[in-house]
Structure formats: C-alpha cells, structure tokens
Amino acid sequence: MEVDLNAHPMYILDVLSVLARHVPFVQLMDMFRWEWPAPMAVDPEVKQRIWSKIGKYMPVDARPWFFPSLSDSGGALTGLFVLHILMENSEWAATYQGDVDMEIVVETGHEEPITSFFCDIEYKVGRIDIPPEFESTVESAYELVNDSGDEVLRVKIYVSKSSAASVVLSNRYTALMNVITREEVVVLCPTTTFANETLVCGTDHDDLLDDTKLPFQCFVDNSHWTTECGDECPMVYRKTFGDGGVRILKWDSKYVAEEGDTKQPLGDDRWASAESGWGGDGDERAMRTTHFCLKEAVRWRVSEECRRPGCPNAQALAARRAYISFV
C-alpha cells in the first residue's frame, strides 16, 4: 500500500509545542538545545509558565513595564517563588501548589524603579526585618502589599549591600539559588534542585532537618550522591559567571496579552516606548542585558567538604590535610 506522506503532513513545531506543555522545566532547558524548531516551541511555554505566576500581581496594562522596571533596578525574581515555577510539571509539582509571596532581589541603591512600579499600581510599602540568612548581604528589606482585590498580594524586596547575586548566594538552601531576570532563567545548583533536593549551606543545621514545611528534601552533605560531582562538587569554588555547573535559559520576557485578558493587546508603538524607557544607546543596552551574575564576580562554594565517596576533590583535600598535620 502506498502512503502519501504529503496528505498527512507532520507539523513538527506543533508536536514539540504540545510536548513542551507537559514536560518539567529542566526538560524545557534541554529542549532549548535541540535543533530548530525546538527552541521555538520552548520560548512560548517558558513565557507562559512565568507570566502565569506573575500576572495576578499586576493589571494587564502594567505588565509590559514589570521586567523593564526590574531590569532598571538590577534585579531578579528569586526564592521559593521562582522554585515554584521551576518545579511545575515535575513529579513533585503537588508539593508546590500553595501560594507564595513574590520575592525580588535588587542592587544596592537601585530599588526605586521596581518599588515605584508597584506603588503606581496601588501597593503599599513597608519595611520588614531582614531574614537572618541575609543579614550579611542585605541592606534593607521591604514588603509591598496590595489588598484592594479578593486576594492580598505581597511582594518582598531585598536591597543588597553590594550585588543582587551575593544575596541569592547567601541562601541557606541551594534549592533557592535560582533567579529569573528580564532575559534569563538561572539555576545555580541544577542537579540537586531539579531532583527536589537541597544541600544546606553553612554548619548550623540543627533546626533545619525537622522543618517539614519545606517542599524539598534537605541534606546536610552530599554523601548520598552516587554519580560524579562534576562542576557542582560542593567543595569546589564556583564563579558567578562562566561556571560550568550553572544552567541558564535565555527567554523573552516581553508580555503579550492573552485571550481572556480584559484589555486589548498592546500595539507595536507601545512596545517601542516600553523598550526605549529603559535602554539608552546601543552600548548601554548591551551592558544592561549582560548576565545578572556578571554584575559582581562572586567566588563561592556550598561547603568546605565533599562527602561523596570517591570524589577526587575530597581525596585531594584529605591528602593535603595529612601532609599539613604531619608538618
């Protein structure tokens, strides 16, 4: 029997788009590296997942200005809010169903653009205590609250002492070391984070392991790891830029009104003004769109030790220690 393939054309982009809707975020990151047209299927899905979490915090006509304002503040979405987006469609998705406050980290002295954005849409601003884990990296913390609708909306803003990246790296849990900026989704410890695990940073662990409210599983060390540590070995110093262990997905944050939105989609003219509102000449724009983590090079590591049996980094450290104690 002859089959005329042209009579039943396979629209590969349609197939990939359906696939993209059902896979966990980590697989979207993988798909983005597949050959064309896979990236074209990934981008709208990433945009949909992020905007579906952010959208309720702002009216439709304010949405095009959110990421430009965030960018002007040198800021990023972070914390549990971002983790909820990253865990959608994963096997642990049920643990990430509840609402969490939006969390934003911004550069020192640059909180005004993003704070003004929220104040313009009826949020009230108040100072809050700096969480203990951020005491060394956060200068001030604010909570913006909008209780004018059915649901009380809360946004926490942490203003860094030096760089926004340094605040993200001072989290106690590696699973919270993720950011979403105007251009990128950055996951600093992807292997554990996408396995719904976290390594606990620092040495004070006593209060953590009993905390059943956390949606991820906590480990005080990596002795249970069975595969090579690679670039994510907890004792290896990492970089905030050019680090092999970090996973980065470029995305297009521009908001496009969807079916069901009450306002009309924005025309091209409005987009053009939204763009020119935050960028100057070409060089300045190029600078502003550089990697979030590049703004300050931070050298960091999760732990002083790696406990994975057979890790060459741990063996080298043990050898050095033997030599030093002998001397």
- Summarize as ranges the residues that interact with Zn ion (CB under 5 A): 229, 233, 306, 308, 311, 313
Q: Quote the least distance from Cβ 307 to Zn ion, whole Å.
A: 8
Q: Quote the least distance from Cβ 244 to Zn ion, whole Å.
A: 14
Closest CB to Zn ion among residues 225, 292? 225
C-alpha triplet 276, 281, 285: angle, nearest 5°: 75
Q: Quote the least distance from Cβ 306 to Zn ion, whole Å.
A: 3
Closest CB to Zn ion among residues 223, 290? 223
Closest CB to Zn ion among residues 54, 188? 188
Closest CB to Zn ion among residues 102, 311? 311
Q: Quote the least distance from Cβ 14 to Zn ion, whole Å.
A: 43
Closest CB to Zn ion among residues 32, 219? 219
Closest CB to Zn ion among residues 105, 306? 306
Q: Quote the least distance from Cβ 228 to Zn ion, whole Å.
A: 8
Q: Quote the least distance from Cβ 196 to Zn ion, whole Å.
A: 20
